[in-house]
Structure 1
Amino acid sequence: MADTSPNNPLQRHKQFFVSLAVGLVVFAAVFPLIGSLPVSTRLAYSISIAADSFFVVFIALVIAKMPLLSGRYLSKNARELDLPVLGIFAITLGIVAMAIVLLFLLINHKDRDPIELGFAMLSIPLGWFTIHAMAALHYAHVYWMDGDAIDTETKKKMPIGGLDFPGSKRPDGWDFLYFATVIGMTAQTADTAITTSHMRRVVLVHSILSFFFNAVIVAAVVNLAVSLGN
């Protein structure tokens, strides 16, 4: 398969834009379809289903692209493949935050609808994996960016690196997704060493975000158990 670099921002970040478009279309379609319900209930349903759609499409697109993200491809196109952290990541966090707030409101609502609650609960694990999938793409970008060191054989700039994966092959998309997921699940690096200050800063931000997200998940489970018990 030929290595081709995306040519424009829409192409580079199409996973996000396609997912966002699907979420907006789903929201616009669901809201009028349930017009017989109260406005607050219609909003809750529409936001939950739209958020779930955004998460599912993004995850599916990232996983579908994984076979393309070989070490060779990433080494040539890492700069183009990165997501604009402050923009896209902020929007995604906003969607996740809305889903979390909605879930807690539904958990503590006496007349909650089970289906409505189910969609809201589904958004939590989907949002969790979406954030770590985005982090994986950013790790790949940071790792494969050109550094200052020059390869004595090729006379080309060597990548910054920062992660020492076991084995001798160049890390690919699955390696970075594995690393991001391990950070998200365990808050530790398992079998992968962090070797640069730049990468440590990235991992620090990711770890703090993961800690608070995991705390929210635990709080939601406890809150739901108490609510059902009452």
Structure 2
Amino acid sequence: MIAVGIVAALLTGFFNSWWHAPAAGWGAAALLYDIWVWSRISRMGPSETRKHAREEDPRRSTRDFLILCANAAAIVAVLIVMVSGNQAEKPMKIAIALLALLTVGASWLMLHTLFTLRYTELYYTSSPEGGISFNQDAPPRYTDVAYMAFSLGMTYQVSDTAITNHAMRAEALKHSLLAYVFATLILAATINLVIGLAS
């Protein structure tokens, strides 16, 4: 992931602009991470999910760092559009807008994917197991937890699931606050800027 990001940043810097290199590097790395994680976890059943969650990396400190990077990279992408987009020619404006959308989109997906991993880890490492009621007899798989994580990330509330312990509520609070900041500050600004560049 890191190597792909570095290569993408260097290629962008040498062949386009060093202003755009950080966003291109992060966008490529985040997109690769998202694809890699979902290609592994999306088909796992309950028993595979339990086993994977108990040994899952990145660990908490690394995960928190990646969450901060996802938000910071999205802000950088918006700033790049603001600084360089208005001075560019029309074809380059479109390319810059696409770069911003890619970086923000990959960062958004990474944010909620990381919380999916975190919720699943908390669920299966709690004693007794739990923290989320999925209203089903079978233990949850990653896609069940992702349903809750993405619902919370997009609507700031849980839908037909219930959070049942303190640790899970604390994580959900952190997730809701970060998702709100991401949506109101970053996504809204990006949409406005991209519309402005396209006009």
- TM-score, structure 1 normalization: 0.75
Structure 2 stretches lacking a partner, 5+ long: none
What is the DSSP-based 3-state SS (H/G/I as helix, E as strand, rest coil) of the residue aligned with 2:20? helix
Superposition pairs of residues 1-230 of structure 1, within 5 angstroms: 19-32=1-14, 34=15, 42-67=17-42, 69-109=44-84, 110-112=86-88, 113-114=92-93, 115-147=95-127, 158-159=128-129, 161-216=130-185, 217-225=187-195
Q: Which residue of 2 aligns with 1:155?
A: none
Given that 1:182 and 1:190 are in contact with CA atoms closer than 8 Å, whether structure 2 keeps it comes out as yes
For residues 101 and 142 of structure 2, what CA distance do their matches in structure 1 show? 28
Q: Report how far residue 68 of structure 1 moved.
A: 5.1
Given that 1:107 and 1:224 are in contact with CA atoms closer than 8 Å, whether structure 2 keeps it comes out as no
- Greater relative contact order, per chain length (Cα 8 Å cut-off, separation 6+): 2
What is the DSSP-based 3-state SS (H/G/I as helix, E as strand, rest coil) of the residue aligned with 2:147? helix
For residues 91 and 177 of structure 1, what CA distance do their matches in structure 2 show? 18
For residues 27 and 191 of structure 2, what CA distance do their matches in structure 1 show? 19
Aligned residue pairs, count: 193
From the superposition, tell whether residues 58 and 137 of structure 1 become closer, same or farther in structure 2 (CA, over 3 Å). Answer: same
Given that 1:56 and 1:126 are in contact with CA atoms closer than 8 Å, whether structure 2 keeps it comes out as yes
Given that 2:2 and 2:29 are in contact with CA atoms closer than 8 Å, whether structure 1 keeps it comes out as yes
Q: Deviations over 1:163-219 (max 9, x none)?
A: 001322110011111111111111110111001111100100011000000112123
From the superposition, tell whether residues 88 and 75 of structure 1 become closer, same or farther in structure 2 (CA, over 3 Å). Answer: closer
Given that 1:48 and 1:120 are in contact with CA atoms closer than 8 Å, whether structure 2 keeps it comes out as yes
Given that 2:100 and 2:190 are in contact with CA atoms closer than 8 Å, whether structure 1 keeps it comes out as no
For residues 3 and 164 of structure 2, what CA distance do their matches in structure 1 show? 38
Q: Report how far residue 99 of structure 1 moved.
A: 3.5
Q: Report how far residue 129 of structure 1 moved.
A: 0.7
For residues 48 and 70 of structure 2, what CA distance do their matches in structure 1 show? 31
Structure 1 stretches lacking a partner, 5+ long: 1-18, 148-157
Larger % of helix: which?
2
What is the DSSP-based 3-state SS (H/G/I as helix, E as strand, rest coil) of the residue aligned with 2:19? helix
**Greater alpha carbon shift after TM alignment, 72-81 vs 50-59:** 72-81
From the superposition, tell whether residues 140 and 47 of structure 1 become closer, same or farther in structure 2 (CA, over 3 Å). Answer: same
What is the CA RMSD across the aligned residues, in angstroms?
2.2
Given that 1:107 and 1:117 are in contact with CA atoms closer than 8 Å, whether structure 2 keeps it comes out as no
**Greater alpha carbon shift after TM alignment, 219-228 vs 66-75:** 219-228
